[in-house]
Amino acid sequence: MKRRQLITAAALSAAAFTATSTWAQSGPYPNRPIKMIVPYAAGVSPDIVARLIGEKLGQALGQPIIIDNRPGAGGMIGAEVAATMPGDGYNLFFTVKGPMAIAPHIYPNAKYNPLKDFKAISQVLIVPHILTATPSAPYNTMKEMVEYAKRNPGKIDYASAGVGSQPHIALEAWATRLGISFNHIPYKTVPGPDVMSGVVSMYLEASTTAIPSIKAGKIKALGISGAERIASLPDVPTMTDFSPTLDVNGVIGNSWHGVFTPSSTPDDIVNRLNTEIIKVVKMPDIQERLRGLGLTPTGTSANVLSTGMASDYQYWGQLIRDLKIKVD
């Protein structure tokens, strides 16, 4: 009996020591660098914003945010990696609408479920897209482009990041509503240079990367998604200016950037991250930089991002079925 008591006492003592040691090693959150997966290549819109927000967030938390680019398959590769990460607060996922609300409907065998595998932290901003055209295109406005398309069915080609990407679906949806047709050319690389050189006629591009090229005269802008003009491009009309029902509230053409974490992450860590991200987005220098890129800073609650993503998921699923878009 005494021997059993001694063994039990020793076990309890060891457990207490281990727990104390673990707590001492972990300490207050965070006490080591935090990884932020971005499912796109360096230099594109989500990466640019992730680095901007990540730097400030790291300063606020007292630990660096390490950007980990995992591009491929329209953001799905990064999403699959992020979905399997430990939910310990040291693994974040900075993503956009595509992998969370669109891609799973195109690729039903995706190895992640955006509604179950992730916990929302905060929407950072809204991203308008700009329908751009090569400088030599025989049209300069949406009206001229639509008239040309009606006279020349299927002769306007456009580039996208691939079948099932948001720009692909958006342009097919707009073409259907306008009664015209385009020739889709999916790219595995960034198609911007080919639009500039005239290899392809049009490209629906995020404002972040489109604005510098537009101002430099390398491409021309036909229209901006949604209903709000961009301050740095005051003369470029919106899709709503052209047709009030073409892109109501930017539901088709606009995207968003948001921060997620694996679903097993404790709520207290999510709340801490949400608080700090909102503070970062509200910083005057961040606001100025984001708006200069044509973006609309938001910095929302976790619930706003979560419910918005769920709504987008349902909307895009139906839109994809209506357009009968599939991967061959």
Concatenated DSSP letters for 23-50? HHHH-SSP-S-EEEEESS-TTSHHHHHH
pLDDT reported for residue 280: 98
Rounded CA-CA distance 307/190 in Å is 31
The verdict on 280 and 172 lying in the same domain is no
pLDDT for 75 beyond 60 = yes
The answer to whether residue 118 scores a pLDDT higher than 70 is yes
Work out how many domains the chain is built from and give that number. 2
Evaluate whether residue 215 is within a structural domain: yes
Instruction: Report pLDDT for 2.
Output: 43
Q: For residue range 173-223, list pLDDT tens digits in order.
A: 999 999 999 999 999 888 999 999 999 999 999 999 999 999 999 999 999
Q: Which residue range forms the structural domain that includes residue 232?
A: 129-250
User: What's the one-letter identity of residue 255?
Assistant: S
Domain closes at, from 235, 250, 265: 250
185 and 116 within one domain = no
Tell me if 186 is assigned to some domain: yes
- Same domain, yes or no: 201 and 151: yes
Do 144 and 39 belong together in one domain?
Answer: no
Confidence of residue 24 (pLDDT cuts 50, 70, 90): very low
Instruction: Express the helix, strand and coil content of the chain in percent, nearest 5 each.
Output: 45, 20, 35
Tell me: do 121 and 258 sit in the same domain.
yes
CATH code: domain of residue 105: 3.40.190.150
Q: Are residues 179 and 122 in the same domain?
A: no
Q: Is 46 inside any structural domain?
A: yes
Average pLDDT value for the chain: 91
Determine contact, residues 90/125, Cβ cutoff 8 Å. no
- Is there a single domain that holds both residue 233 and residue 150? yes
Domain-embedded: residue 243: yes
Q: Does residue 174 sit in the same domain as residue 314?
A: no
Tell whether 152 is covered by a domain.
Answer: yes
* Residue 8 confidence (pLDDT): 42
Give the least confident one: 13-22, 137-146, 253-262, 305-314: 13-22
pTM for this model (two decimals):
0.86
b/e 278-309 (16+ beta carbons within 10 angstroms → b): bebbebeebeeebeebbbbbbbbebeebbebb
Read off the pLDDT of residues 271-325 as tens digits, 9 standing for 90 and up.
999 999 999 999 999 999 999 999 999 999 999 999 999 999 999 999 999 999 9
SS3 314: helix
For 97-226, where are the E strands, in sequence order? 118-127, 129-133, 157-160, 183-186, 202-206, 220-224
Are residue 110 and residue 144 in the same domain, yes or no? no
pLDDT band at residue 74 under the 50/70/90 scheme: confident
What does the pLDDT average to over 87-112? 95
| Mean pLDDT calculated for residue range 39-65 | 95
- How far CA 165 is from CA of 24, 26, 308, in Å, comes to 46, 41, 19
Which tokens go with 142? 């949406």
* Mean pLDDT, range 87-101, rounded to an integer: 97
Q: Domain of 162: which CATH number? A: 3.40.190.10
Whether residues 42 and 148 fall in one domain: no
Using pLDDT thresholds of 50, 70 and 90, give the confidence band for residue 26: low
Domain membership of residue 20 (yes or no) is no
- 192 domain-assigned: yes
Question: Is the Cβ–Cβ distance between 253 and 33 less than 8 Å?
Answer: no
- pLDDT number for residue 162: 85
Residue 21 lies in a domain: no
- Domain boundary pick from 250, 273, 306: 250
Query: In 10 A of CB 105, how many CB atoms?
Result: 20
Among 39-48, 92-101, 219-228, the minimum mean pLDDT is found in 39-48
- Of 250, 283, 298, which one is at a domain's C-terminal end? 250
pLDDT(15) > 60:
no
Q: Is residue 17 pLDDT above 70, yes or no? A: no
- Looking at residue 270, its pLDDT comes to 98
Verify that 99 and 207 share a domain, yes or no: no
Confidence of residue 51 (pLDDT cuts 50, 70, 90): very high
Q: 59 and 133 in one domain?
A: no
pLDDT digits (tens, 9 = 90+) for 238-274: 999 999 999 998 999 999 999 999 999 999 999 999 9
CA–CA separation, 172 vs 168, rounded Å?
A: 6
- pLDDT higher than 80, residue 60: yes
Cα–Cα distance, 238 to 253 (Å, whole number): 10
Q: How far apart are the C-alpha atoms of 44 and 54, rounded to whole Å?
A: 15
